[in-house]
Amino acid sequence: MNIEQTAQCMAALGSVARLQVFAVLVRAGDEGLTITELRQALALPASTLAHHLRAMVDAGLVVQERIGREVCCRPDFRLINAAWAHFRAECCQGVSATPAGAVAYATAGGCTTAAAGTAADVDATPAATHTP
């Protein structure tokens, strides 16, 4: 894994809709979901779902397999874990997951979102730590 591959993975997840699609696929696990099941779960138009899936397939985050008349989509957990590991090892060297300054800023009212919290509120474990 290199910085370009990591950036491509992150860019492919760079929208709310893609993160939602990806989260549903990750929760489905190794079995994945058909495109029909994804559309039903997310209530997205077919063209919108196809657009977002294409970006994730091109980045290698999602693998598609035709099974009869359906296309099954599965997350590539190895790539997800490799990108996360590269990001943590190369981009965040010497930096903890929750720098004290960021927590101090958030708890002092520097952040106005509900997401701001304390170090105890932050889960630094990647969501995709699935081991097949």
What is the rounded average pLDDT of the residues 39-51? Answer: 94
Please give the mean pLDDT across all residues of the chain: 79
Query: Is residue 126 a part of any domain in this protein?
Result: no
* Amino acid found at 22: F
Query: Is residue 124 a part of any domain in this protein?
Result: no
Instruction: For residue 78, give the CATH number of its domain.
Output: 1.10.10.10
pLDDT digits (tens, 9 = 90+) for 115-128: 333 333 333 334 44
Query: Is residue 63 a part of any domain in this protein?
Result: yes
pLDDT digits (tens, 9 = 90+) for 82-109: 998 988 888 777 766 665 555 554 455 4
Asked if pLDDT for residue 42 goes beyond 90, the answer is: yes
What is the rounded average pLDDT of the residues 35-39? Answer: 95
- Show Cβ contacts of residue 1 under 8 Å, excluding neighbours closer than 6 positions: 82, 83, 85, 86
Query: Is residue 19 a part of any domain in this protein?
Result: yes
Give the tokens for residue 111: 């952040």
Query: Is residue 9 a part of any domain in this protein?
Result: yes
Query: Is residue 76 a part of any domain in this protein?
Result: yes
Overall pTM surpassing 0.85 (yes/no): no
Query: Is residue 72 a part of any domain in this protein?
Result: yes
- Tell me the pLDDT band of 111, cut-offs 50, 70 and 90: very low
d(CA 63, CA 68): 16
Range of the domain at 15: 1-114
Beta bridge partners of 91: none
The number of distinct structural domains making up the chain is 1
